[in-house]
Amino acid sequence: MAAAGPAEAEDWLLESLRLYNDLHVFELQEPTRVIEWTGEKSVCVAGYENSRRNEILQLLLPQKLYVKEKQGLCPERDFKVERGGFSDRPVYSLQHVPDTSLLVTSGPPDSSLQVWQLAAEDTDVIKSVSTIPTGNDSKKLWAKIATTFTSSPCVLHGSRVNNVQITEIDSKKNIYTAASSISDEVSGLEFLDGNTLLACCVTGQLCLADIRQPQSPLADTSVPSAFGGEQWCLGVRLGLRGSDVNALSIARLSSGGQLMLTDLRNIPKPLKSAKCNVPAASPSAEFLCVSWAPALDGCLAVSGFNGTVHIYDTRSWPVSGGEVEPLFSHKGHICSGMDNGGDFPLVTAHAWHPWKPRTLLSAASDGSLHVWDWVESHNNS
């Protein structure tokens, strides 16, 4: 599918005046598949090319996107590079360790982790601190990661369910290993609280474990057989610290566009399921992404199928399932041009603003980075 031409791009820009409260369009020097908040005003992005060194950048948001009160014209309307560094490997995953200045990254060709230090105010360098080896796996895959800070900075990591573990970042001490016979590849990992972790397999299985039980097995639950063969990713609606972990909702998205919502209090029986209104199955499951809105009840975002980001309001879904229409679709990356291969740009990542309800950041394979806030009453589906 060819990228949109000048006429289509102009039409979309005109239409955006009624679709968006805010729309900022930027171009990165290289595309990113990570958008990670490192504070109220800044995010990190990183390159993922195999053939060269890749930049890791901490970007300061335009002023308009982080002021909490209404203001007039803001002087800064572009991202500003605060800090930067270089990785000798592609960055497929990047996590900020809460309450610290540490970053953890992972990516091919193996499952080792790289630890980075965001520099002090008097320098703009993101410094490589250490590497965490993760064992001798003969069929190495890059590790999925999640971070937390309890008594010390820790990283949850693994490429397959039977090698999921938790490592203290400073000491590199292993403090938990999952005792599981499941060798399926992991598509996502999450800390649900200080003691509970969740893994999602590419086959759709959910695996839950309590780290207070040494070598505790990961209990698994499968998706219905009707969706077998599809690849799945995970999105968790995390509550406030101290909230009941069992009340959290899990969203699973498949490469065929199927969405399943699960309550941890009754894992075997999904709360709801629906079919996303996507044109076709995802050509590659590696960019599939589903995430819950932190400040908009019941809404989630879906990307990775094409050049759009779809917003769904799960509260309106029928219990019986079926195909559902998006509340809103961001189509801006379609009009931003072609990627390096001359193909239709594919959305590689998206992230919600932590407290602006309808504001998201999204990135695509052509290097475009958008920040957008859609009009509340408008449904463009």
**Residue-level pLDDT at 33:** 97
Q: What is the CATH number of the domain that holds 303?
A: 2.130.10.10
Assigned domain for 361 exists: yes
Same domain, 57 and 205: yes
CA 90 → CA 33, 55, 105, 114, 146, distances in Å?
A: 10, 9, 9, 11, 18
Question: Do 81 and 153 reside in the same domain of the chain?
Answer: yes
CA-CA distance, 349 to 330, in Å (whole number)? 13
Residues 193 and 268 in one domain: no
As given in the structure block, the two tokens for residue 293 are 């809105």
Q: Is residue 242 part of a domain?
A: no
Summarize pLDDT for 76-129 with one digit per residue, the tens.
457 889 999 999 999 999 999 999 999 999 999 999 999 999 976 678 899 999
Cα separation of 26 and 156, whole Å?
A: 33
214 and 124, same domain (yes or no): yes
Please write the tens of the pLDDT for every residue from 255-305: 999 999 988 777 777 788 999 988 766 656 889 999 999 999 999 999 999
pLDDT in tens, 109-121: 999 999 999 976 6
> For residue 321, what are the domain limits?
1-25+254-374
pTM of the model: 0.88
Question: In terms of domains, do 8 and 63 share one?
Answer: no
- Residue 381 in any domain: the answer is no
CB 370 within 8 A of CB 333: yes
The answer on 4 and 58 residing in a single domain is: no
What phi and psi values does residue 132 have, to the nearest 5 degrees?
A: -105, 110
Strand positions, DSSP E, 100-195: 102-106, 113-118, 126-132, 144-149, 153-158, 165-168, 174-177, 186-191
Domain count along the chain = 2
Render pLDDT for 331-359 as a digit per residue (tens, 0 to 9): 888 876 555 555 778 999 999 999 899 99
Q: Evaluate whether residue 245 is within a structural domain.
A: no
